[in-house]
Structures are given as structure tokens and as C-alpha cells.
Chains A and B, each alone.
Chain A
Amino acid sequence: MIVVASWLEQSMTRGILTSRYPKEAASDDEVPPTGRPPLPVGGPAPGPRARDSCPVGAISDTEVDQGKCIRCARCVAAGLTFTGPVEAATRSRSDLMRLSDGPAPSPGSPPPLASLGRSLHVFLVDVGSCNACNLEVLALANPYYDAQRLGIFFTNSPRHADVLLVVGVPTPEMVEPLRRAYEALPGPKAVVAVGACPISGGAFAGVRDLAPSLEGIVPVDVFLPGCPPPPVAILDALLKLNGRDRAARGGR
């Protein structure tokens, strides 16, 4: 009895830690300095100095490909800052280049999947990650983010899931298991590519044997840039699937 009381006391002392996101904008605590997409300061074009500073070729003379960025911050010295929207997930790959225009999707971007309903059951598939994305996804269960309050639940089998969260750069060994996990999902189903690795290979872009991106293996519904994306960005990516994200609620 004493023990129960002390756990209770511990919980009461700590109080409610849970984020107000997405009702309120994400706080600075929730978004690390490198949690936002880097954008050129004072203009849309990064320029050649920024281009040369990037170790993964995410920066060209005219635009920044957020799908390739690994948030190493080397371009900061060449005039870029991490000031893009936290809600950086997009429904199409090409929109990742247009993040400087704001979080609004491009006209050709697919609409939310109304068929998924309001609650999402999510299954995590790791196809060759460094673990950081896995742990950021697991962090959604901690009291700070508490994904359950938004109707997001983790399942123990792909057969019970609506959404596949894919982390990591696809290794040849994981291509077949991933395909089978995708086939095991009952329809309607969706795939979220979490982090730079499944979108473009990220830090591993161009490494021999590895798949260049997830797109050739399973269809991707949401592209979430970051290395790794912070937990609030993962929440946003999931909510974008069924149109319950912050932008759709009218919060900017």
C-alpha cells in the first residue's frame, strides 16, 4: 500500500508533462535546433558556397532538397538557418523542395486519406536504420508526446495496422520482409517514410548495394524529412494522413 502511494506521489509531483501539440504550436523544448528544415536566409537561392558545404548534395544553386538533408549543420556557416516549418512532412516527394513557401501543400499534392478514419493503428518497420528514428518513434509513447491522446496506437502485427512507419535506408536483406509486411496490412493502408534514409538514402546515399529510396519498393504516402525527425514532426506526419494535422485545423 505504501508503495502504491509513493508511485502516486511521484506522478502527482511530476504533474502533467504532455505537450499541447497540435492544439498549440510546438515549443522550443520540443523542437531541437536541428529539428527544423534548413532554409537560405534572405532569399530562395542558397548559392554555390552553401552547395559546396553540403556533404550529401542536398543543396543546389537554386534550392534545398529537404529529403536529402541530414541536419549536419555545415551549411550554417554558408548562410542557411534551421528556420523551416516543424510540420515539414509532405504528401509528395517534390514538395520537399518547396518548404520555404510555407507548410501549405502544392496544388497537385494528394488529399488526406479520409478512408483511414480518425484513429490510426501504426506498425514500425526498420529496414536499416541507425536506431535514432526508431527511438524517436518510440518516444511518441512517453508522457511528453503521448500519441494515444490523438488516437494513434502501436500494433504488434502489421495485420492489425493501417499505417506502416518505415525507418532506415532499405538494405537488400530487408526489401523482401518489407514487401511482405506491406502486403500483410489490410486496406485501406498507408506508408510514411520517416527520416532522410527512406526518402533519399540520407547519409548513406550512393552507398553500394543499398536501395536509393523506399519509393521503388512500396508506395509512399507521406515523406517526413529529418535526421531524425523530432517526435512532434512524426505526430504531424501521421495526422497529415487523415487530415487532422495542425495546418488542416487552421493553426499556423
Chain B
Amino acid sequence: MRRPSWRVESAPAVGGVGGSRALAYVPDDGGFALYNDYAEGVSVLSTAASRPEDEPAVFWRADRDRVRPHTLAPATEIDGYGIFTFPYGPISMGVPESGRFDVRTYGERVLGLVPVGGFKSRRIRDAVVGRPVVDAALLVERMAGNFSAAHVSAFLAAAESAEAKEVPTAEYWVRGLAQELQRIYNHLHLIARVAEAASQNVGLAQTHALAEEVLRVQAEFFGHRWLFGALIPGGPARRLAPADRHGLSERLGHLAEEFERLWLLFLESRTFIDRIQSTCPVARSEAIRWGAVGPTLRASGVAWDDRLRIPVPPYDDLFVPLPQESGGDALARVTVRAEEIRASFLILEQILDRWAAAGTENEPAGTPVAPGRGIGRVEAPSGDLVYDVRVTAGKVDALQLRSPSRANWPVFAAGMRDAVFTDFHFALESFGFAFAETDG
């Protein structure tokens, strides 16, 4: 299997942001930065020490995130007669998570919006220090319960690469299955939330029911509705014998059929389409400038998916479709997600086929960045997820991450400029944010 490799440069390419390059990651100490070069289709790992502070993509330097609560997008300097800041949150029913939005407005139009995070910070980055990798993983999977498979996969990939450990191939198949199942759940949940905002109530109920069925499949085959404990080496919750895999394949077939029927109905529903079309538009240049990732980036016309560009096993050996839209609005984001549900069913089928045919050899994990330090990157449901882990003698020394939600907050803020209040929920839900993984 092919290993991910990053081109390493000694000096950062300054001035690239806004063109076809986006800064992906700046860890606490400024040691490394990852850039995605969309024109060349490569990911560049370079030192970020000399990175200028005022470059837009760098304003989220992790050290500032240590102050709680903290802003997640640049402040808006709009002033005038009757303009005030309306704080929405941290407790509100519209957003079922704790986080605040500071909205600059004169009453109807959103002149500017700043998401404020840090309310949910459970100090995971500090709490894992000194714990063995398998125990730290219990906290990492709770970074965001609905994205647990992606978080644990990235964390384990980083830790294994830091320790240059050998990993059984079956372990990779399980991670692939778990990640794709959870992607399907999250995309369905997102479509349900958007349908709710658009008052498409039958669609909401039907999609919500389908999402529940995915959770039940996860519970049946991985022992837990949210896959907690299922990917941790030696985790007892999982049970995926060949007979189970056959059963899983059958259940997936039914789910895929149900989804096809449902999505066609959504596409025919004018009330649904009308309300998300041209809502919260993000142009290609804006998406790159603010470092958008995942379906948000692909909906703005950039063909980038970690599963294709920097694949970790098992994705290096699979056919991964790359849905793409150019509209950049909520409709484009929802369409990309729907297409990705189909893609995920296809990937799941491939994994189950290959696994049945494969042997059980051991694989060396990727090469460490430095002794005891590894980087793990996976395509989480909402986009590129990066873990930077340092391990000494089987225990975690330091952990940094850049979550897809963290990357996409400024994109949401940019897209909401000049929108109206009623657009807020369609817009927010179409990105698939989690304050939980933002705050860590």
C-alpha cells in the first residue's frame, strides 16, 4: 500500500494564500505548517516560524485559542447609525451546542458575524498528556462524538507513525468501514437539519429515520452507536467476523436503496431547493483564502479530498469518487454531501470485498516527522482533519490538532456577510460544524 508523503520545504512560500494555496495547519509552537497547493495537487509541509501574523489564514494560531472564550473569525469593523452587536448564544435551542455568534446588525441584515468558541473546551489536549495511547484514545474519540471514527483514526495514525509501529491490515479495513459509516450518518444528519430549517417536514422525518438506522447498524456491528471503543487496538466492543461482514453488506444495500429514493424526492421539492439555493455563497477564491476544507471546499469548485490526494490505508487502494460543485452555496454543499453518501456506500462495498479476499499481513505505519513525532491526516465528514502527536515510551507527550470545523468557521463568517437572519440556520447547518471538536 502507498504511504502518504508530504513534500517538505525549508522555507514557507509567502504570498501563496489567495491564489491556489491554502494554509492548513499551524501548531502551537509554530513548528510546522501544512499547505495545500490545489494547482499542483500536493500538500506541502514546511516550517511556519517566519509566517507573518497578519496573513488571514494564520490568525487562528493555536496559542490564541488558549484564551477562552475566543473568536473564530476576524472581527468585523462595521459601524454606523443604529448598528449594534447581537450576541446569539452560548445557550440557544437553534444551535444544539454551546457556542456564541456575535452578529453585527441594525436589525434585519447580518452585516458581519463572528463565531465565538471555547465554551465547550474540555481541555482534551492537556488531559491526554502522560496517558498511554490506548487510554488517550478514549478522550480523543470524545473530541466530537459524531466524528469519533475520524478523530481516532487520525490520532492512531499519528501515534503509530511517531512510534514506527506495525499495524495489521485488518485494522485499516475496520477504520475505513467505521469512517465511511459515520460519514453517511453525518451527511444524513446534515440533510435532515437543513430540511428542518426549510420546514420540509416529511423529508426531515424520513432522513432522520434513515440516520437512526445507520446508528443502529453501527451499534450492531461495532458494539456502540457512536463507535466509541470500536477502533482502539484490542477494543473489545467490536465484532466483525466474516459472517458479520456479510450481514453488514446486506444491511448497507437496503440503506443505499432507501437513500436513493429519498434523495430523488428532495431534488423534486421546490420548497427545499428554493430555500437553500444561493444561501451563504462562498466563492472559490474565498474558500481558498480562508482555508476551507472538505465538502465546503469541494462545493466551491476545488477538487481536493484527502482520501485521494494524501491517502492513508485503506484509501490508497480504493476507488474514491470525488463529487464537486461550483455554486458554493448551501445547495452546493448539500448536493456534495448527498453525492458523498452514494460514494461512501460504494467505498464500503469495496472494503468488504477486498477484506474478504485479503490476507492478514502486518504493515509498517508511515514515517515519523521527527523521532517520536507523527502526523495523521484523514478526510473527516466535514473535511481535512490533522493530528500532530508526540509519543514517548507509549505515552502521549503532546497533542495538537486542526479540526475541519476550526478551518471552516471563518468561511462561514465570510459567507454570512450581507445575509439576513432567516438564512442563519440553513447556512450554519450546511457546513456541518461541531463546536465540540473546535474547542477540544
Contact = CB atoms under 8 A, between A and B. Distances in A.
Given A11-B202, A141-B208, A208-B126, A73 B96 contact: no
B206 A173 contact: no
B256 interface: no
Interface in B247-293: 261-262, 265, 268-270
B434 interface: yes
B123 A209 contact: yes
Given A11-B206, A143-B205, A177-B90, A3 B119 contact: no
Contacts of A155: 93
Contacts of A129: 97, 120, 145, 436
Interface residues of A, number: 65
A129 B190 CA distance: 19
A126 to B, nearest CB: 5
Contact of B206 (A14, A76, A124): A14
Given A10-B206, A14-B209, A204-B127, A173 B228 contact: no
A26 interface: no
A181 B91 contact: yes
A106 interface: no
B96 A139 contact: no
Contacts of B261: 10
Interface in A57-71: 70-71
A16 to B, nearest CB: 11
B208 A142 contact: yes
B359 interface: no
A228 B79 CA distance: 45
B236 A73 contact: yes
A55 interface: yes
Given A10-B265, A73-B236, A32 B223 contact: yes
A71 B96 contact: no
B138 A138 contact: no
19 contacts: A3-B269, A29-B216, A32-B219, A32-B223, A34-B228, A71-B224, A72-B229, A72-B235, A124-B93, A131-B145, A132-B142, A132-B225, A133-B145, A135-B96, A135-B146, A155-B93, A157-B93, A168-B122, A174-B120
Given A55-B135, A72-B235, A129-B97, 8 more contacts: A10-B206, A73-B236, A77-B236, A132-B145, A168-B98, A181-B91, A204-B127, A204-B142
